[in-house]
Amino acid sequence: MNSEKIILIGGGVGPMAGVELHKKIIENTLTGGKDQEHFEIWHLSRSPDIPDRTEYLTGKINENPAEGMARTFLLMDKMLKVEKKSAVGGVTCNTFHAPEIFNIFTNILKQNDSDIKILNMIEETGNFIKDNFKNIKKIGLMSTTGTRQAGIYSNILKTFDLEILEVEKQEQAALHDTIYNLEWGIKALSPITEKAKIRFENFAQTLIDKGAEALILGCTEIPLALQGKYFQETPLIDPVYVLARALIKNANEKKLKVKQ
């Protein structure tokens, strides 16, 4: 009996982030070269049903994004029950992992008797740092205002004895705008604009100057601006890459490629 789990992607938050997670799962899967040896991946991107996470956390809207994402996973759960298969899943949005959203999401799944194993991308990132950067204590974080105000990373990573460094409060609005700006922001346009790319390079340098020994790209589109494993000589930590490898490990550890 095949014990390999199906991998589920809760996409649409933002849409390109789900595509990047799907891509990274493929890139980190060990196969013999045949299509059929890749994972079965169910990727639903239902953006219209999932309100903006930062707007919810800052009180601008009342509808919790947890509800729409739960509907997405429950659609997949129905198929899993019909096919009698098990699955592991994740959501690519950092801000979605605020307890006010993520905990409601997982509770809805439990209340509907879902057996899907849901990974927490922020916790997986903490484990990744602990395993791969044992001597690093100060981590720079670039994120949405919602992620910052909710303390999503600082609350979890302090349990790993890590200090989070962020841009000054007066710079946070500019960072958030670089993510959301409708004319040139990384969520609005693909491929990324040169203006957004340069801005993120400047934010990265600011955090390094403050003492950051590694940088967390804490919005899932930021790796589109800061590509590769390093900025200058400072390690870049991409939570989507971390989540991709964690999903593979949970679905079938034998298929997890050795890190290069």
pLDDT at 2 over 70: no
Contact 45, 69 (CB under 8 A): no
**Residue given tokens 């999503």 in the structure block:** 152
**Residue given tokens 């790319």 in the structure block:** 197
pLDDT in tens, 207-229: 999 999 999 999 888 988 999 99
Contact 4, 37 (CB under 8 A): no
**Residue given tokens 């169910």 in the structure block:** 42
pLDDT in tens, 98-156: 999 999 999 999 999 999 999 999 999 999 999 999 899 999 999 989 899 999 999 98
Vertex 154 angle, CA 167 and 150, to 5°: 85
180: Cβ–Cβ under 8 A, 6 or more apart, which residues? 144, 187, 188
CATH T-level assignment (fold) for domain 122-239? Rossmann fold (3.40.50)
| Mean pLDDT across 8-15 | 93
What stretch(es) of the chain map to CATH 3.40.50.1860? Answer: 6-120+241-255, 122-239
Contact 215, 235 (CB under 8 A): yes
Cis peptide before 191 (omega within 30 of 0): yes
pLDDT at position 99: 94
Using pLDDT thresholds of 50, 70 and 90, give the confidence band for residue 90: very high
Contact 147, 167 (CB under 8 A): no
CATH class held by domain 6-120+241-255: alpha beta
The two structure tokens encoding residue 141: 């974080």
pLDDT at position 191: 84
The region, left, alpha or beta by phi > 0 then psi within -120 to 50, assigned to residue 241 is: alpha
